[in-house]
Structure 1
Amino acid sequence: MEQFNGRAIISPTPDLTVDSDDGSGEPNQATTNSGSLNLAFGSGPPVSGAEDTASSSLEGFRESHSTAGISERSADLHARAWRSGTRAAYKSAWGQWVCWCHEREIDPVQSPISAVIDYLTFLYDKGLKYPTINAHRSAISKNHAPLGAVQVDQLPVVCEHMRAIFNERIPSPRYTKTWDVEKVLGAIKGWGDNANLSDKLLTGKLAMLLALTSAGRASELQQLDTRYMCIKDDRVTFHLTKRTKTCRPGKTHMVLEFFRFEEDRSSCVVECIEGYLSRSRLWQQTSDEVLRHNLLLSYVKPHGHVKTCTISRWLKDVMKESGLAAEFTAHSTRAASTSKAMGQGISVDDIQKTGKLVKAINF
Structure 2
Amino acid sequence: MAGPAVLVSVTPVHWVICRPPNRGAGNVSGGVRSARLLETSQHLLRWAAPRLASLRATYLPGVRNQLADSLSRRGPPPGEWHLHPEVVRMIWSSFGTAEVDLFASEDSTHCPLWFSLSETTSPLGLDALAQPWPERFREFFRRGTRCCWWPPSGRPGRGSPCSVNCAPASRGVSPTGRTCCLNREVGFGIPTSAPSLVCLATEGPQPLLTGCTESVTRTILNARAPSTRLQYANRWKLFVAWCGERGVDPVSCSIPTILDFLQSLLDKGRSQSTLKVYVAAISARHVGADGCSVGRHELVSLFLRGALRLRPRPAPRVPAWDLQLVLDGLCRPPFEPLAGADLLWVSRKTALLLAVASAKRVSDLHALSVSPECLRWHPDGAGVTLWPNTAFIPKVLSGSRSNQPLRLKRYVPTPADGGDRPELLCPGRALQCYIDATAGMRTSAQLFVCYGGPTKGSALSKQRLSHWVVDAIRHSYLLSGRPLPSGVRCHSTRSIATSWAALRGVSLEDICAAASWATPCTFSRFYSVDVASPHPLGVILGPAGASQ
- The partner residue of 1:340 within 490, 500, 520 is 500
Q: Deviations over 1:130-153 (max 9, x none)?
A: 111111111111111122331122
> Structure 1 residue 295 and structure 2 residue 439: aligned?
no
Partner of 1:322: 476
SS in 2 for 1:226: coil
Separation in 2 of the partners of 1:309 and 1:132?
A: 22
Runs of 4+ in 1 over 6 A off after TM superposition: 9-14, 38-43
The number of residue pairs the alignment matches comes to 326
Separation in 2 of the partners of 1:44 and 1:103?
A: 11
SS in 2 for 1:109: coil
| CA shift in 2, pair 1:237/1:56, >3 Å | same
Q: Deviations over 1:215-234 (max 9, x none)?
A: 12221111111111111121
> More relative contact order in 1 or in 2 (CA 8 Å, sep 6+)?
1
Partner of 2:211: 69
Counterpart contact for 1:181–1:340, Cα < 8 Å: no
1:342 deviates by 3.0
Matches within 5 A, 1:52-91: 52=162, 55-57=199-201, 60-61=202-203, 64-91=206-233
Normalised by the size of structure 2, how large is the TM-score? 0.55
Partner of 1:210: 354
1:63 deviates by 9.7
| CA shift in 2, pair 1:40/1:230, >3 Å | closer
1:72 deviates by 1.0
Separation in 1 of the partners of 2:366 and 2:350?
A: 12
Counterpart contact for 2:362–2:462, Cα < 8 Å: yes
SS in 1 for 2:290: coil
| CA shift in 2, pair 1:166/1:76, >3 Å | same
For the pair shown, the structure with the greater C-alpha radius of gyration is 2
1:355 deviates by 2.9
| CA shift in 2, pair 1:62/1:133, >3 Å | closer
Partner of 2:425: 267
> Structure 1 residue 51 and structure 2 residue 193: aligned?
no
SS in 2 for 1:236: strand
Matches within 5 A, 1:232-311: 232=378, 233-240=381-388, 241=390, 242-249=392-399, 252-263=402-413, 264-284=422-442, 290-291=443-444, 293-301=445-453, 302-311=456-465
Separation in 2 of the partners of 1:347 and 1:86?
A: 31
Counterpart contact for 2:502–2:508, Cα < 8 Å: yes
Separation in 1 of the partners of 2:294 and 2:205?
A: 19
Counterpart contact for 2:252–2:287, Cα < 8 Å: yes
- Which runs of no fewer than 5 residues in structure 1 stay unpaired? 1-6, 15-37, 285-289
- Which runs of no fewer than 5 residues in structure 2 stay unpaired? 1-98, 108-120, 126-151, 165-198, 414-421, 478-483, 529-548
Q: Deviations over 1:185-212 (max 9, x none)?
A: 1111113222111111111111111111
Question: Which range is displaced more, 309-318 or 163-172?
Answer: 163-172
Q: What is the percent sequence identity of the aligned residues?
A: 23
| CA shift in 2, pair 1:13/1:176, >3 Å | farther
1:283 deviates by 2.2
Normalised by the size of structure 1, how large is the TM-score? 0.81
Letter of the aligned partner of 1:209 in structure 2? Answer: L
| CA shift in 2, pair 1:218/1:133, >3 Å | same
1:12 deviates by 10
| CA shift in 2, pair 1:50/1:162, >3 Å | same
Separation in 1 of the partners of 2:106 and 2:269?
A: 17
| CA shift in 2, pair 1:68/1:186, >3 Å | same
Partner of 1:18: none
| CA shift in 2, pair 1:199/1:171, >3 Å | same
1:320 deviates by 0.7
Q: Structure 1 or 2: larger helix share? A: 1
Counterpart contact for 1:210–1:269, Cα < 8 Å: yes
Kindly report the root-mean-square deviation, in angstroms, between the aligned alpha carbons of the 2 structures: 2.9
Letter of the aligned partner of 1:343 in structure 2? Answer: L
1:61 deviates by 4.3
| CA shift in 2, pair 1:112/1:327, >3 Å | closer
1:160 deviates by 1.2
